Amino acid sequence: MRAFFSRFAIPKPFHSPFFAILRSKSKCFSRNPNFVPVDTGRTSGYPRAFAAMPGSAEDFVKGRVFPNGVAVITLDRPKALNSMNLGGDVKRIAVRCEMSDVIEVFTAEYSLICKIFAYKKPYICFMDGVTMGFGIGLSGHGRYRVITERTLLAMPENGIGLFPDAGFAYIAAQGPGEGAVGAYLGMTGKRISSPADALYMGLGTHYVPSESLVALKEALLSFDYSDDPHKDVQALLSGYEKEPESEAELKMLLPHIVSSFGSHRSVSETIEELKKHQFSTDAVVAEWAADSLLGLGKGAPFSLCVTQKHFSQVASAHRNDEHHLSKLGGVMKTEHRIALRSSVRNDFAEGVRAVLVDKDQVTYRIATARIEKSGFVNVSSGLSTTLWCFRGSFLEWLVKFCLVLH
């Protein structure tokens, strides 16, 4: 097979096709030794990411192989908002409070992200709609990331007591402002709807109008690929990509973002800096600062401090090949540790209740004083010495935790 696409079918009005090239363990049908084996998605390599979801993964995973060697995976879970919405699965974890569920979900999710990152074939993502959280994990580490005018990107996990995971800190470290822009997006949960901003941040590589996606898809599925499929894909994408109609707002705000969300800033210092920007004579800057403070106010104080510390350390490790956080694998191992520990905190239960269950949005009401008094400002990345708010048997949890990280 020369390419491998998957489509995440979402019921209208939330229809948002997402195409990707994925990896699994079946026999390779290509004569080119540079191609990595793929199959239709029914081996353990791919569906494991959804093993903790309600129902069997095979109930909504369908595969098809096209004559030119392209394999297509279609995910269709009509009982959920969409095939890749993990809201219901997060609620299940929070309600059941079973560490086995937490380990299963995060291990599968993070291992899949690492496989996608290391995948040798062209990996093409169509982000024609809402792409948040794990959606960014699936798309942001692929080689070709197609965005449209309908793309909406965000990492809102701080709002439910977790943190912006899925390797977003790794993406942020390679982005503008030496990681500051990514830290801003992760800490505030800011939604990006501008193609120019998505390209500037590096979340997208090509802007293609939504109306052109059908033609692009047909071209990708019918093309007679050579022994250099990356060159073929790049040529096809260049024939459909356009320049965004507007400038990147993130680029214009970069000096203010760096001064507020730079790796040297603690969360309380970030809040104080944003308060100063609120009085800027530039209306755009003042509005941005107010919006940023509002976004921070929706996050759990502990989550914000963990996010700041984690993103800061990953950004500092960037370009230092000897540091484990300079590689995605090292980042994902650290995030696995943070995710397991964050998921057993009361912040997580409260965030899920307020945002996903009762939906009253009454969560943390953050303030500078609360962060400074919480005792969580100087957290270490990975929370290596911090064990709070455990539910259930601590010994049982610790044993499982050590086994996973062995």
Summarize pLDDT for 195-216 with one digit per residue, the tens. Answer: 999 999 999 999 999 999 999 9
Q: Write out pLDDT tens, residues 371-396.
A: 545 544 445 544 443 333 333 343 34
**Average pLDDT for residues 166-192, to the nearest whole number?**
95
Residue 195, pLDDT score: 96
Query: What is the structure's pLDDT at 150?
Result: 94
87: confidence class by pLDDT, cuts 50, 70, 90: low
- Report the percent of the chain where pLDDT is more than 70: 67
Is the pLDDT reported for residue 8 higher than 60?
Answer: no
Q: How confident is the model at residue 6 (pLDDT cuts 50, 70, 90)?
A: very low
Task: Give yes or no for residue 321 having a pLDDT over 90.
Answer: no
- Give mean pLDDT, residues 170-182: 95
Q: What is the pLDDT of residues 32-83, one digit of tens each?
A: 333 332 222 323 333 333 333 334 455 666 777 778 777 776 666 666 555 5
The total of structural domains in the chain comes to 1
> Residue 2: pLDDT above 60?
no
* Strand ranges for 52-205 from DSSP E: 61-65, 70-76, 124-127, 130-132, 144-147, 152-154
Of residues 323 and 4, more confidence is placed in 323
**What secondary structure letter does DSSP report for 53?**
S
Q: Dig out the tokens for 382 from the structure.
A: 């990975």
pLDDT band at 355 (very low <50, low <70, confident <90, very high): confident
pTM: predicted TM-score of the whole model, two decimal places: 0.77
Q: Residue 116 above 70 pLDDT?
A: yes
- pLDDT band of 364, cuts 50, 70, 90: low
SS3 at position 147? strand
What range defines the domain where residue 60 resides?
3-405
Is it the case that residue 30 has pLDDT exceeding 50?
A: no
Detail the DSSP E strand segments found in 10-148.
Answer: 61-65, 70-76, 124-127, 130-132, 144-147
- 69 and 105 Cβ atoms separated by less than 8 Å: no
Question: Do the Cβ atoms of 183 and 312 come closer than 8 Å?
Answer: yes
> Which of 317, 3, 239, 322 minimizes the C-alpha distance to 143?
3
The reported pLDDT for the residue numbered 18 is 36
Measured CA to CA, the distance from residue 162 to residue 302 in angstroms comes to 9
Where is mean pLDDT largest: 66-70, 184-188, 227-231?
184-188
Whether residue 307 is predicted with pLDDT greater than 80 in this model: the reply is yes
**Residue 265 near residue 273 (C-beta atoms within 8 A):** yes
| pLDDT at position 288 over 80 | yes
Residue 140, classified by CB atoms within 10 Å of its CB into exposed (0-12), middle (13-18) or buried (19+), is buried
Q: pLDDT digits over 89-105, tens only? A: 666 666 666 777 778 88
**CATH number of the domain enclosing 214:** 3.90.226.10
The pLDDT assigned to 401 comes to 41
Between 300 and 278, residue with greater pLDDT: 278
